[in-house]
């Protein structure tokens, strides 16, 4: 495809979103799915009749640097074509030390287009966030919509559980709270998010203590999805005892990533994740700063 042809497609896509044209871009190699060129383009999809909820997740964002802005632009374009009003923000919201005075440059300006359109960010605390006042100022910041260091909220039949996974967390009370809330939940879909990984193939790797702590709880109470950051890459696991583990920590910077036997897809590319929730499944997409879908996965309501 010559330069003039690419420019024409780009201008047509930006100027005529209502026509439903997506960017037809060069196919990206994947590890887990043979995505066609049409699959990788972000199509214009209005809210579908059977769609219960659409949301996105991103983590390790708060640098205020060009990488964060690149991911934010991709999130905004996706919103234009696939409306959503919820972002799960999985920690390290303010680098390097959780200084709340930086909130304008690392949150409000990068995401201003989404915030102006009423998109709600639900945050949890990362290890960088607790370096100032133990993260208390972030917990109180209205834009992060935190009801505490750990909390729950619902969107229809989807219930979210936000955790403080830091080493100084109130683990005794938090774990008792989590089990109680999970046991009381009537939601069809249960999504837990925290900053630190449980299963990961990056610089830090999997956390054996977290596997022992959380995996039995997730299996017992039917948690279908755990979302986290800390590792600066994207990684989706297969269903492990009914739970898919999704890392979306390449929201501003990235690091190399490998893969394990339970890895369905991994990449170090700057990116975010998008989710479409239906009655019987969640359709999950990994989306890069080139506005292409590089990974697609299905989370079933109940799986082995």
Pick the CATH number of 3-300 from 3.40.630.10, 3.30.2020.30, 3.60.21.10, 3.40.50.720: 3.60.21.10
Residue with the bigger pLDDT between 291 and 41: it is 291
Percent of the chain residues topping a pLDDT of 70 = 84
Cis peptide before 214 (omega within 30 of 0): no
CA distances, 196 to each of 92, 127, 159, 277 (Å): 10, 9, 20, 24
| pLDDT above 80: residue 263 | yes
Nearest-CA neighbor of 291 among 12, 14, 1?
Answer: 14
The whole-number pLDDT of residue 303 equals 64
Position 27 scores a pLDDT of: 30
- Report pLDDT for 12: 40
Name 144's Cβ contacts closer than 8 Å, sequence gap at least 6.
89, 93, 121, 122, 123, 138
CA distance 73 to 29: 23
The sign one gets for the Cα dihedral 96, 102, 103, 107 is negative
More confident residue, 225 or 40: 225
The answer to whether residue 53 scores a pLDDT higher than 80 is: yes
The pLDDT confidence band at residue 6, using thresholds 50, 70 and 90, is very low
pLDDT at 7 over 70: no
Count of CB atoms within 10 A of residue 269's CB? 18
Looking at 49-170, which runs of residues are DSSP E strands?
53-58, 86-89, 120-123, 151-155, 158-162
List 88's β-bridge partners, or say none. Answer: 57, 122
Give the pLDDT mean for 185-204.
98
> Is the pLDDT score of 208 beyond 50?
yes
Q: What is the pLDDT of residue 35?
A: 61
Return mean pLDDT, the chain: 89
Whether residue 119 has pLDDT greater than 90: yes
pLDDT at 82: 97
CA distance 163 to 38: 37
pLDDT confidence of residue 302? 84
What's the average model confidence in pLDDT over 125-141?
A: 98
d(CA 114, CA 95): 21
């Amino acid at each position: 495809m010559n330069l003039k042809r690419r420019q024409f497609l780009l201008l047509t896509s930006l100027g005529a979103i209502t026509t439903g044209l997506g960017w037809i871009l060069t196919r990206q190699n994947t590890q887990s799915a043979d995505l066609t060129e049409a699959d990788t383009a972000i199509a214009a999809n209005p809210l579908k009749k059977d769609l219960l909820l659409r949301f996105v997740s991103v983590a390790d964002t708060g640098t205020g640097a060009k990488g964060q802005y690149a991911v934010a632009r991709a999130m905004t374009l996706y919103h234009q074509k696939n409306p959503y009003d919820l972002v799960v923000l999985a920690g390290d919201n303010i680098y390097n030390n959780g200084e709340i005075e930086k909130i304008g440059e690392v949150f409000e300006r990068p995401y201003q287009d989404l915030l102006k359109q009423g998109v709600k960010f639900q945050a949890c605390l990362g290890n960088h966030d607790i370096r100032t006042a133990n993260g208390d100022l972030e917990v109180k910041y209205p834009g992060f919509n935190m009801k505490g260091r750990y909390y729950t909220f619902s969107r229809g039949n989807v219930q979210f559980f936000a955790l403080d996974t830091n080493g100084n967390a109130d683990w005794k009370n938090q774990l008792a709270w989590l089990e109680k809330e999970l046991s009381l939940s009537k939601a069809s879909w249960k999504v837990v998010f925290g900053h630190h990984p449980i299963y990961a193939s990056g610089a830090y790797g999997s956390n054996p203590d977290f596997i022992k702590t959380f995996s039995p709880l997730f299996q017992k109470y039917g948690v279908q999805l755990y979302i986290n950051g800390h590792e600066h890459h994207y990684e989706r696991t297969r269903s492990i005892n009914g739970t898919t583990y999704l890392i979306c920590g390449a929201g501003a910077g990235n690091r190399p990533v490998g893969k394990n036997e339970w890895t369905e897809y991994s990449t170090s590319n700057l990116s975010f994740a998008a989710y479409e929730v239906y009655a019987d499944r969640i359709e999950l997409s990994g989306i890069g700063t080139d506005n292409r879908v590089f990974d697609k996965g299905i989370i079933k309501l109940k799986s082995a």
